[in-house]
Structure formats: structure tokens, C-alpha cells
Amino acid sequence: IGGATTSRQHTAVKIAPEYSESTVHVLDASRAVDVVSSLLSPSARDGFIRKTREEQETLRVQYGARRDRPLLSYAAALDNRLRSDWKTLDVPAPTFLGRRAVDDVSIETLSRYIDWTFFFSAWELRGRFPGILDHPQYGAAARELYEHARALLDQIASEKLLVPRGVYGFWPAASEDDDIILYRDDSRRDELARFQMLRQQEEIADRRPNRSLADFVAPRATGVRDSIGAFAVSIQGAEALAAAYERDHDDYHAIMVKAIADRLAEAFAEYLHATARREWGYGDRENLSAEDLIAERYRGIRPAFGYPACPDHSEKFVLFDLLNARALGMSLTESGAMWPAASVSGLYFSHPEAKYFNVGRIGLDQVESYASRRGLSLEEVERWLGPNLAYDPQTARAATPTNQVGV
């Protein structure tokens, strides 16, 4: 089991108990080779499986203890939302409304936005770039890998072997509890789309707010004319290019192409977010270095569906319809995975206090509200939100969990 949105805990708690054979989580694809080797080795197999299962049992025990901690009721969590003084808050207006396709950005431009640290992580070389190049243990390997990657990137750019394609836009918006409403135009009469958000329900120390992304959009009742942005970007052609290397039995460059494409997709997201901040008016005076961008020293966030602040992948279907992302050669699988694989999508928030957070565990009362707001069955929503459920759907669906408390 691997991928950016998976974890050792999710594998141990949700997947391994449902499968009779070994189930192993890996940080990235390069580790799969070691796992398969251990499973095929007559001498190592039994010990490897035993150790894996012991570690997973420990994770399940830890998760069970965490799941027993009390939650606020959904009503109490909603009442403890982040509250902003919307009448005095700086609420910028974007320079245009609607969507804009972006198909004229070059690989050379995007390469300046690459965070190379994560490129090295994909090759099991841990450390921040550029310091990793001088690491006493594996600096030589890192320098060689970086040299090869830069040479391939230059070839990709000069021969236009990969194609960046993206789309972004802005829409008038307002919040209504945990819903974000997007309007067709600035008259704000016709509703275009809705994103249903989730809220933290765990008790937070010092009575800090239980956050939802909806808190970063002006409530409809305030009359404040707020807006929200959305984007989807992809690097197209990596699969075909990698397949060409594989036909030549060059697995090294096949893997490198995919790793570079992933970094370019993230770079594209960074580049387009900077563009969006300028178009929104509050980022037009930015003068940020590459280090500033990596450290996110700017106003606003761009959370992606499937990640901690908005963990429901199925909202990507609404996002793709809003952006008409499929017209750019992007698509979604039935489970919400993006294709091409080197793709990034999400929402833009401009609130000056907007920051990333983890929704974490949620109770049956919030899941029931969420299912009702989305017009989906409880069972379907529970499938999408399985890792976040603070209860066992098989046993607790019929009754309010006893581990919820009010305030």
C-alpha cells in the first residue's frame, strides 16, 4: 500500500484486518522492491511477516486508544468555529470571475518552482535541498542523481517532451455553516456549486476553534462579498515517455521521468497559486524567493481534496465539473484519483488567517449531517470517510456514539 494519501496507520487499521495475506505500507514505490524481496525470500519471509504484523497490531492498539477519547458534539464543534470580524477584515476582490485555461507556461518556467527536497525523498535520500548534496553519507549519490535529473529536465524542456496544462478561476462565494456556496456571477442570485466541508470535533486545548475550511469564507448572513478560487494542473506525456524508456529496458530513466513529472506538477501548482494571488490583488507586491515559497511565507492556502483539511476525495468530482478540467485532458477514476498521475487540484482561500489543519476524527452526528447536505446515503459517505470515522459503522450507526460530549 502506498501513495501520498496513505499511511502506516490506515493500512494497519483499515486494510490489513480485511486481508488474510501480508499487507505492507511503503513510503514510496522504490521501497516495494525490498518488500517483495523479503516476501519471496525463504529465509526472511516468516520474520518479515511476523514483524510487520506485530507493528500493525501496535498501531491498532494506539488507534483504538485514540478513538476512545471524547469528541464534542457536532453542534458544539460548530458553535466553537473560528469567528472573524468580517466587517473590518480585508476581503480582496479578484480581477476576473470564472475560469481561465493555462496552456502557455513552459517547463523552463516551472523548473524554477521545483522543490527538489521531495525529489530526493522519492529515491530514499532524506534531507533538505541543497544541503543534501553535501551530506557526509550520501551526498555523492545525491549529486549524481541531481546531475542526471537536471540533464533529463533540460532535455524535456528543449524537446517539449512533457506538456503542462492547467485551469484556475474565481467565483463569488459565501459560507453557510460548513457549506461553501459558489455563485454563477456577481449578482449572487444563482447558485453554481457547493462544497460541503468537515469540521474538527476533537476537544482542542485552550478552547481554540474547531476549524472548518468554511470558516475562511464570509458567512452569507454578513452580506460581505467574498470569493473563492479553484485550480487543477497536470503534466501530460509522462506515462508515454516512461513507457518509451521501459521498452528500451531503461527503468532508471522511466522512474526518473515520473519523479520529475510529479515535481513539475507541484511546481505548476506553486506557480499558479502565485498567479492567483496577484489576480486576487493581495499578492501583487510579493517578492518571494524559492525558499519563501517552499516555506509558504505568503497569505492564503490551496488545500487539496483527499488531504487532512478536506479528506473526502469525492468532492473532486464537483471541482472538476466547476473547472471543466476534463477539457484539458484530465480525468478522475471512480475513486477520485486524478489522471494523469502528475496532477494537482484544490481550492484557493485568501483569508489572512487561513492555514492548513487536520479534520481528524468525526462522529456519527457530523457524518449524518454531511450525508444529508450532500444528498448521499450514510453508507456511501462512510465509505469515502472511513479513515476519519470515530466509530465502527457496523455497530454504532443506529445510535449516537456515547463518547461525544457537549460543552
pLDDT per residue as tens digits for the range 321-355: 999 999 999 999 999 999 999 999 999 999 999 99
pLDDT at residue 407, rounded to an integer: 46
As a whole number of angstroms, the distance between CA 265 and CA 107 comes to: 10
- Helix 45-67 and helix 32-40, axial crossing angle in degrees, nearest 10: 120
- Helix 139-159 and helix 251-280, axial crossing angle in degrees, nearest 10: 70
Q: What residues contact 250, with CB distance under 8 A and at least 6 apart?
A: none
pLDDT at residue 51, rounded to an integer: 93
Longest dimension (CA), the chain: 71
172 in helix, strand or coil? strand
φ and ψ at 38, to 5 degrees? -65, -40
What's the whole-model pTM score? 0.86
pLDDT at residue 402, rounded to an integer: 46
Residue-level pLDDT, tens digit, the chain, 407 residues:
987 668 888 899 889 999 989 999 997 766 788 899 999 999 989 999 999 998 999 988 887 776 667 899 999 999 999 999 999 999 999 999 999 999 999 999 999 999 999 899 888 788 889 999 999 988 999 999 999 999 999 999 999 999 999 999 999 999 999 999 999 999 999 999 999 999 999 998 888 999 999 999 999 999 999 999 999 999 999 999 999 999 999 999 999 999 999 999 999 999 999 999 999 999 888 888 888 888 899 999 999 999 999 999 999 999 999 999 999 999 999 999 999 999 999 999 999 999 999 999 999 999 999 999 999 999 999 999 998 999 989 876 555 544 554 54
**Alpha-carbon distances, residue 64 vs 33, 68, 199, 389 (angstroms):** 31, 6, 21, 12
54 in helix, strand or coil? helix
396 in helix, strand or coil? helix
For residue range 228-248, list pLDDT tens digits in order. 999 999 999 999 999 999 999
As a whole number of angstroms, the distance between CA 201 and CA 212 comes to: 10
Residue 302's nearest CA partner among 216, 360, 385, 388 is 216
Residues β-bridged to residue 169:
99, 230
CB 290, CB 296: distance < 8 Å: no
Residue type, 137: Q
